[in-house]
Structure 1
Amino acid sequence: MALTQRPSLVFANSKGEIIDYEGLEMAGSSAGEFRRLEPEELIPLPVGSELFVLPGRLPVGIEPESGEPALLDENPYDGSSEISAVAAFMAPAHTAVYSAAYQTQENAPLLPLFAYTAVGWQDGRFVVAAFRSDSDIRQDPNGFNQKQIDKKTAAKLKKYPHNRLIQHLGKCCLTYACPAARNYFLGRWEAPLPTSPCCNAGCVGCISQQPSGCCPSTQDRIHFVPSTSELLEIAVPHLETAERAVVSFGQGCEGEPLLQAPTLESSIRQMRAQTSKGTINLNTNASIPAAVDRLAQAGLDSIRVSMNSARTEFHRRYYRPKNFSFAEVRQTIEVMKRHGRHVSLNYFILPGFTDSPDEFAALCELLEACQPDLIQLRNLNMDPEHYLKTVGHAPSQPALGILRWLELLKTQFPRLKFGYFNPALR
């Protein structure tokens, strides 16, 4: 079904009901700059996405005739002023082109740690300013059968009552519906191996630990360091039997896995002593190059380096690192490439910041110098205004636009790949 009319703005009334308003077009935000949406920037709301009401924020749309931004400050159907902006939190494998467009009111609460994509109404359905960034179906919501998940999880928890990590993943699966944990219990694709209860960074957008009084973390952090035997009991059977098998240290429910480097090194060596199958991956802040060198020698196949910015100062302001800097991050990438291993950048996407000309130039320099293999186009899960204020975003030129930014990267770096997930290399 082709999209025809321009999308209309949506808002939430005082009851939380989401309503469309044809008097204004849907708008998108590029770091606070409001934009009119083009057809190529829109897709139907992906299955499994959620719509969020944004408290203390009034929706901004586009005047159809002038094309100028316009604030909607009351319900156009009953004259009530109690309305709120609406955003989409998209299903995995989709990347935002624009953030939700709104004006924040005085004393508005900080938004929770999710991504806030522009959403509107067009041709009888919701649409978002986004694109599908990975064709891999491993986390598609329609691929999960809850009855099957419950049955297989219960069976494995009963079979391994003394494996603390399996029990922890059971909570991740059944309480938080973690897609990686669900896939582990279903015996397929990428399985998580969280290992570290501590961290050497204080990321502003950390999803597993936040200071009291801040926006709450979205999940509990692991509180123990698994033993090598506990890790092997998960990893080896998964690597041996799962389709496109990947096991990954470094998950949302832990700190920095490199702080447990001796445990990781021992586990990787024993995994590879027992099987040559599958991909052993590390998701990391890349803070300890020497540890990564040892892990590569032990048999680590790939790393995914989390990165909000390719600029030192912006990286520091977000990560708030303890005893490391962006220089170590670059060294870690270089270490893995010297070993001939795969490197992904888990590059947090925020429209207006990521595609600013200065950030684009810094990323191009890093890509040229360090030669990573893949950029994972992950949406930044954080209140956009709070993020921009935290890092001190003050652009000197207009943003390129996310689609144009991506097109330029593909042209300048034809060997570089783009996606959303850690690839299966074996």
Structure 2
Amino acid sequence: MNLVYADKDGRVFDHPDWIALGRSGDMVVELMDDELIPLPAGATLVGLPHTRPVGINPATGAMELLPGDVQAVGALLPQGFTRLVIPGYVKTDKTQKLPLFGYSAVVWKDGGFYVAADPSDDPEPWNPLHCDREELEVRVEELLGKYPDNRLYKHLSHCALGYECLTASNTFLQRWEGAVPVSYSCNAGCFGCISEQPDDSGFPAPQTRMNFKPTVDELTEIMLEHLQVPEAIISFGQGCEGEPSTQAKIITEAMRRVRQQTDNGYININTNAGLTDHIRAIVDSGLDLMRVSTISALDDHYNAYYKPRAYTLANVEKSLRYATDKGVYTSINYLIFPGVTDREEEIEAMIGFVRRTGLKLIQMRNLNIDPESYLELIPPARGEIYGMKQLLEIYAQELPDVVIGSYTHVPPKRRQFSSPT
């Protein structure tokens, strides 16, 4: 498998002689054939600025930095693929931070590009090629015209057309999972937040957080427009907002209004689940699906990344248990990073967490972060590091009733509840 690199102009090459390597955490590792799959459709190759690729020089048989004015290359994977190894590189300037993306190791093999990844879900529903730009622009114009005073539609139009957010686009295309953001504030200070960063973080936030509090009417209009078929999903808690449960009052009122008018579709919340009392109120208002973001089931790791404000991981667990007991289909957005997620202590803690909370689904999410900054932030490994491939095998064996995937799976039967009055 040949090392892949980019020149100073961003042109990508494979080296005819050098052997590619990857990284697991801060360790440079060999790439195994069973970790590699052909570069998926929708993946993007990117240069890693201020880096040099690491490979095996066949002339010496040693691990070395590729000479010349070159940089390492990584792959950004589409939804449905879990990365197993990050690119093999060394930073040339340790003060520089990589943009907030999830970089996967890429090699040249058998006449094509391969990546270290596992196809953990069907990628087709979230393939960007299925989002017709012209159709989207027409639907945006139609809904903005129909609801000229709805600030949420205006906000989402920028997310759909400017950021090309597929969930926001779905809101206008009225298909699959659509977005309905609600919150401009958060009860966590996530280290890698994609919508809000402190000025001294060194991470430019790739998107802008919403800056207003929507009304119940604005939420209700979007929800009713989207929930027109049985399989539709409308979701609170998107990348462009803070923690949705901080706005539990308007969420619960909107849910009650919607469920008085239609039983179609599913209502979902993406949440950190730290505000247990707020989550209970939302669950009791007729929530169908709950997806909780987490990076670890260990307090020290969780706290280092999320920097929770007035809640703990125990609150998260309590919220999940309550929702599960009330018939909500519960899942986690599991932010994964090779060399960390696959640590022995992390695996043991997560298996216990899943069993105690009754989770139905683990959605593997490639953590978008500068690797060095993340590794400096969190506690060091205490046990063996198994590798991401083995982690997936362990979960399949230890949690046979839990789906391991990449995005929401609609449960076979909706939660039953009485329509609120």
- TM-score of Structure 1 vs Structure 2, range by shorter chain: over 0.9
Opposite residue 49 of structure 1, the aligned amino acid is A
Opposite residue 2 of structure 2, the aligned amino acid is S
Q: Are positions 1:189 and 2:176 aligned together? A: yes
CA contact (8 A) 1:10 1:20 kept: yes
TM-score by length of 1: 0.93
Which residue number in structure 1 is paired with residue 419 of structure 2? Answer: none
1:415 maps to which of 393, 397, 401: 401
SS of 1:117 mapped into structure 2: strand
2:206 maps to which of 215, 218, 223: 218
Return 183-192 or 146-155, whichever deviates more.
146-155
2:300 maps to which of 301, 313, 321: 313
Opposite residue 364 of structure 2, the aligned amino acid is L
Q: Deviations over 1:219-248 (max 9, x none)?
A: 11011121111111111121123x721010
CA contact (8 A) 2:236 2:244 kept: yes
Opposite residue 11 of structure 2, the aligned amino acid is E
Report deviation, 1:293.
1.1
Report deviation, 1:108.
4.4
SS of 1:84 mapped into structure 2: strand
Report deviation, 1:106.
3.4
SS of 2:282 mapped into structure 1: helix
SS of 1:184 mapped into structure 2: helix
Residues in 2 aligned to 1:10 and 1:270: alpha-carbon distance in whole angstroms: 55
Opposite residue 214 of structure 2, the aligned amino acid is P
CA contact (8 A) 1:312 1:326 kept: yes
CA contact (8 A) 1:47 1:141 kept: no
Q: Deviations over 1:172-218 (max 9, x none)?
A: 00100001111221111000010000011110000000111421111
Which residue number in structure 2 is paired with residue 335 of structure 1? Answer: 322
SS of 1:29 mapped into structure 2: strand
Which residue number in structure 2 is paired with residue 254 of structure 1? Answer: 241
Runs of 4+ in 1 over 6 A off after TM superposition: none
Report deviation, 1:29.
0.9
Which residue number in structure 2 is paired with residue 396 of structure 1? Answer: 382
CA contact (8 A) 1:95 1:133 kept: yes
SS of 1:335 mapped into structure 2: helix
Report deviation, 1:123.
2.5
Residues in 1 aligned to 2:129 and 2:35: alpha-carbon distance in whole angstroms: 24
1:227 maps to which of 199, 206, 215: 215
CA contact (8 A) 1:56 1:108 kept: no
The number of residue pairs the alignment matches comes to: 411
Residues in 2 aligned to 1:154 and 1:67: alpha-carbon distance in whole angstroms: 60
Residues in 2 aligned to 1:145 and 1:106: alpha-carbon distance in whole angstroms: 41
Residues in 2 aligned to 1:189 and 1:255: alpha-carbon distance in whole angstroms: 22
Opposite residue 412 of structure 1, the aligned amino acid is E
Q: Are positions 1:304 and 2:291 aligned together? A: yes
Residues in 1 aligned to 2:108 and 2:65: alpha-carbon distance in whole angstroms: 17
- 1:56-75 → structure 2 map (5 Å cutoff): 56-63=50-57, 69-72=63-66, 74=67
1:239 maps to which of 221, 227, 242: 227
Residues in 2 aligned to 1:68 and 1:143: alpha-carbon distance in whole angstroms: 45
Gaps of 5+ in 2: 415-421
Report deviation, 1:289.
1.0
1:10 maps to which of 4, 24, 46: 4
Residues in 2 aligned to 1:335 and 1:65: alpha-carbon distance in whole angstroms: 61
Residues in 2 aligned to 1:67 and 1:227: alpha-carbon distance in whole angstroms: 65
The percentage of aligned residue pairs carrying the same residue is: 38
Report deviation, 1:378.
0.4
Residues in 2 aligned to 1:309 and 1:419: alpha-carbon distance in whole angstroms: 17
TM-score by length of 2: 0.94
Residues in 2 aligned to 1:154 and 1:314: alpha-carbon distance in whole angstroms: 45
Q: Aligned pair in 2 of structure 1 residues 364, 157: CA closer, same or farther (>3 Å)? A: same
Residues in 1 aligned to 2:63 and 2:169: alpha-carbon distance in whole angstroms: 43
Q: Deviations over 1:34-70 (max 9, x none)?
A: 2222222111222222222112211112356997633
Gaps of 5+ in 1: 1-6, 75-80
CA contact (8 A) 1:36 1:62 kept: no
SS of 1:240 mapped into structure 2: coil
Q: Deviations over 1:363-406 (max 9, x none)?
A: 111122222110000000101111111113x2233411111111
Return 348-357 or 89-98, whichever deviates more.
89-98
